[in-house]
Amino acid sequence: MDYRAVGTSGLLVSALGLGTLTWGRDTDEEEARGQLRAFLDAGGTLVDTSPAFGDGTAEALLGSLLSSFFGDAAARSQLTICTRVGFLDNPSGPTYSVSRAGIERSLEASLSRLGIETVDIAVAGGPDGVTPDEETALALAGLVTHGKARYIGVSGYEPWRVAAMHTLLHERHLPPLTVVEEEYSLVERSVEKSTLPMCEAMGIGLLATSALGRGVLTGKYRHSIPATSRAASDHLAAFIAPYLDERPRRIVEAVAKAADGLNWNPAEVALGWLLATPVSAALVGARTASQLTSLLGANLAGGEELPDLVIEALNDIS
C-alpha cells in the first residue's frame, strides 16, 4: 500500500481509505470485522465514517471493532479515523448544524460511540444554511485546540468558501483546514474544475469519496442489478440510480476493456486512474469482506501504477 501526505500537513494516510457507509445496516459485525482485518493486512490506515451512516450504527460498530482489535490508544494509533461533525440525534429526530454547539455536541457523541478521546480528522458535513462560515471555521479549529481532533476539514462547501475559511484560520494563527472531502471518480469529475486546483493552491488534501462511482465502476451493474447490491436496497437505490444511465455505462465498458487487457479487475483500473491524480486518498467501501478483498487487489496493493496510455484513454472517454 502506498502512503501519501494530506496536503502540506504532516499527516500520512494510506492511498486507499476504508469507507463504512454500509456498516451496521447492510454490513453486519462479522463482515465488518473481516473488512477491517483485510484492510489492515493490506497496509491500510485511513478509516472514514460518519454519524449519518446508519444513524450512528457505523460509528458504534467501528468503535466495537477498535476495542477488540487494539487493546489501547497506542496500538490504535496506527489508524487514522475520520468522521463528520454536525449530525445530531435529538428527541424530535435527527438534525444537522455546523454551529459551534452543533459541532461540539456532534463530535462528543461520535467520540462516545467510537470509544476514543480524540478523532484524527473531523470534517464538517456541509453548510446548514444558517450558521456563518466564520463560526463553523472557528468551531472546527477549537476541536484541535481542545484536543478533540488532530486535523479538521469540510465537505460540500463551494471552493471559494473553503478558501475563505482556510484564510481566516491562517490569519488568526489557528489550526487550518487540512482536508476537503468530495466525490471524485471517473463518472464524477466536477471537482477538477475548481475544487482540486483550490486544494493544491491552499495546501489542502482531497479525500475522494465514492471513488468507485458509488459501486458502478466495479462492473457489477453492467448487465443487471444484483438482488443483494446497494442499487437493489430501499435506502441506497436512489444513491446509485444517477450512475446507471448511458454515459456511466460507456465509461464502465471502457474500464472493463482496460481491465481485460491488463489482467486487472475493473475496480483496480478505476482506482488506478484516480490515484494518478493529486488526491490524498481514495475512499472505497464494500458490503462484504470478500468484496473489499477484491478491491484491495494485488496490483494496487503492491503499488503498481496504471499505464499512461490507459489513463489517457479513460480521460478521453470520461
pTM recorded for the entire structure: 0.92
Average pLDDT, the chain: 90
Question: CA 314 to CA 154: how far, in whole Å?
Answer: 29
Q: Looking at 66-80, 101-115, 188-202, which range is the least confident one?
A: 66-80
Is it the case that residue 153 has pLDDT exceeding 80? yes
- Domains in the chain (CATH in brackets) are 3-218+274-306 (3.20.20.100)
- Sign for the pseudo-dihedral over CA of 61, 303, 122, 142: positive
**Beta carbons within 8 Å of 68's beta carbon, 6+ residues apart:** 33
pLDDT digits (tens, 9 = 90+) for 9-48: 999 999 999 999 999 988 999 999 999 999 999 999 999 9
Q: Could you tell me the pLDDT band of residue 92, with boundaries at 50, 70 and 90?
A: confident
Query: 281-284 and 205-209 as β-strands: parallel, antiparallel, unpaired?
Result: parallel
CB 85 within 8 A of CB 114: no
Instruction: Report the share of the chain in percent with pLDDT over 90.
Output: 74
Question: CA 164 to CA 162: how far, in whole Å?
Answer: 5
CB 59 within 8 A of CB 25: no
Q: C-alpha angle 42/180/277, rounded to 5°?
A: 60
Question: For the chain, how many residues are written?
Answer: 318
pLDDT digits (tens, 9 = 90+) for 74-84: 778 889 999 99
Instruction: Look up cell 445496516; give the residue.
Output: 25
Is it the case that residue 146 has pLDDT exceeding 90? yes
CA atoms within 13 A on the CB side of 16: 30
Give me the mean pLDDT over the 49-67 stretch. Answer: 95
Is it the case that residue 306 has pLDDT exceeding 50? yes
Q: Could you tell me the pLDDT band of residue 93, with boundaries at 50, 70 and 90?
A: confident
Residue 294 pLDDT: 83
Residue 224 pLDDT: 40
**Beta carbons within 8 Å of 267's beta carbon, 6+ residues apart:** 212, 217, 218, 219, 284, 294, 295, 297
pLDDT digits (tens, 9 = 90+) for 211-266: 999 888 987 765 444 434 444 345 555 666 667 677 888 999 999 999 999 989 89
CB 34 within 8 A of CB 47: no
Tell me the residue ranges of DSSP E strands in 64-221: 80-85, 87-90, 93-96, 119-124, 149-155, 177-183, 205-209
Whole-angstrom CA distances from 44 to 13, 49, 132 are 8, 15, 36
Q: C-alpha angle 195/286/33, rounded to 5°?
A: 120
